[in-house]
Amino acid sequence: MNIVVEFFVVTFKVLWAFVLAAARWLVRPKEKSVAGQVCLITGAGSGLGRLFALEFARRRALLVLWDINTQSNEETAGMVRHIYRDLEAADAAALQAGKGEEETLPPCNLQVFTYTCDVGKRENVYLTAERVRKEVGEVSVLVNNAGVVSGHHLLECPDELIERTMMVNCHAHFWTTKAFLPTMLEINHGHIVTVASSLGLFSTAGVEDYCASKFGVVGFHESLSHELKAAEKDGIKTTLVCPYLVDTGMFRGCRIRKEIEPFLPPLKPDYCVKQAMKAILTDQPMICTPRLMYIVTFMKSILPFEAVVCMYRFLGADKCMYPFIAQRKQATNNNEAKNGI
């Protein structure tokens, strides 16, 4: 095709993409069904991972839960089984009333499987993935959610904690994706969800390792999305989830300027996950919560660095992690004193 003609075609496609994006705001796309599909969630034992598990359970997905903490992972599984029992009871009541739907799954299909897995260890990921394939089947939805934070200033952070943060928050995404993507490519079907952070789009002081890991995983996700498009594997969807500070206790003590805080409070975990689920089930490529994060990211891209610094200082975002780090340090000192170290 002549390059001039192609240029106009591309221009039209770009404008049409804007039209479609605007249409999604006005008319919400229909959510797809994940009933009967195998959904694997890392870091499912607590926080957002647990809430993702409950949301997928309500939509009748077969769940595979990974977490390093066996007890908390089993607690999540117990909550999922309770949801399954409620669904089965509702199905039975509907059938008795003669109102059963064809797509209602039989009770035996509603199952949850738990695996103790340290996603920061490559071989552990590959071995556990092989067990999942043998005992459950191929994964259709992969939710890479597991995450850690060291809570130390750079020069006070032990090297092993920096490495741990990078392994769990970033490298693990490579390993889980390499484990389950091949089958998705074969059948051209699947969905990979990357739970990142707004700190993977813009940064702040005091959490260099965490920001680096999240920036890394955002880059990984975007490159993977482009690779799938280049391979014309349109049946495999990707969703990047970048929430603002979520009130899970992970960053307890983090504070922005008190006058600004009422307008930008930490997100409720339930709200964050429900918004992410809407994006996942409508094949939305990316979601920032709240939407203000889109504007912040855009401004960071076009403003001079000194202008960004001024804005950070005005919002109190330049040192927002310092109270959190101080609390972490105090807790560490208390534990050492308690253990007689």
Six token digits for residue 340:
């007689």
d(CA 8, CA 240): 30
DSSP secondary structure of 281-329? HTT-SEEEESTHHHHHHHHHHHS-HHHHHHHHHHHT-TTTTHHHHHHHH
Domain range 32-336, CATH class: alpha beta
As a whole number of Å, the CA-based R_g of the chain is 22
Please write down the long-range contacts of 130-139, taking CB distance under 8 Å and 24 or more positions apart: 130/179, 132/40, 132/64, 136/38, 136/62, 136/64, 137/38, 138/38, 138/180, 138/183, 139/38, 139/39, 139/40, 139/64, 139/180, 139/183, 139/190
d(CA 55, CA 25): 23
Helical packing angle, 305-315 and 292-302, nearest 10°: 140
Based on the residue annotation, tell me whether 210 is a catalytic residue of this protein: yes
Identity of the amino acid at 18? F
pLDDT of residue 330: 80
d(CA 289, CA 203): 16
Q: Please tell me which residue in 84, 210, 244, 312 is annotated as part of the active site.
A: 210
d(CA 191, CA 179): 14
CA dist 90 → 37, 79, 94, 105 (Å): 20, 17, 6, 11
pLDDT of residue 340: 53
Residue closest to 316 by CA, chosen among 202, 205, 152, 156: 205
For residues 114 and 77, the answer to whether their CB atoms sit within 8 Å is yes
pLDDT tens across the length of the chain (341 residues): 688 778 777 887 888 877 777 777 777 889 999 999 999 999 999 999 999 999 999 999 999 999 999 999 999 999 999 999 999 888 888 888 875 554 544 445 789 999 999 999 999 999 999 999 999 999 999 999 999 999 999 999 999 999 999 999 999 999 999 999 999 999 999 999 999 999 999 999 999 999 999 999 999 999 999 999 999 999 999 999 999 999 988 888 888 888 888 888 999 999 999 999 999 999 999 999 998 898 888 888 899 999 999 989 988 888 899 989 988 888 766 554 455 54
d(CA 224, CA 239): 11
pLDDT of residue 120: 96
Whole-prediction pTM value?
A: 0.90
CA dist 229 → 184, 196, 226, 274, 288 (Å): 14, 21, 5, 27, 22
For residues 315 and 201, the answer to whether their CB atoms sit within 8 Å is no
DSSP secondary structure of 17-28? HHHHHHHHHHSP
